[in-house]
Amino acid sequence: MQPLRKRLLYWMPRILTIAFAIFISLFALDVFRAGKGFWEVTLALLIHLIPTAVVLGVLALSWRREWIGAIIYIAMAILYIFRTWGRFPLSTYLIIAGPLILIGVLFMLNWFLREKFEMSPKSNFKQPPSA
What are the pLDDT digits (tens) for 36-81? 888 988 999 999 999 999 999 999 999 999 999 999 999 999 999 9
pLDDT at position 19: 97
CA–CA separation, 75 and 63 (whole Å): 17
pLDDT at position 113: 86
What are the pLDDT digits (tens) for 104-128? 999 999 988 877 766 445 555 455 5
Q: How confident is the model at residue 24 (pLDDT cuts 50, 70, 90)?
A: very high
Contact 31, 44 (CB under 8 A): yes
pLDDT at position 122: 52
From the list 47, 56, 46, the residue with the least C-alpha distance to 23 is: 56
Up-side HSE of residue 104: CA atoms within 13 Å toward CB? 16
| Eight-state DSSP code of residue 33 | -
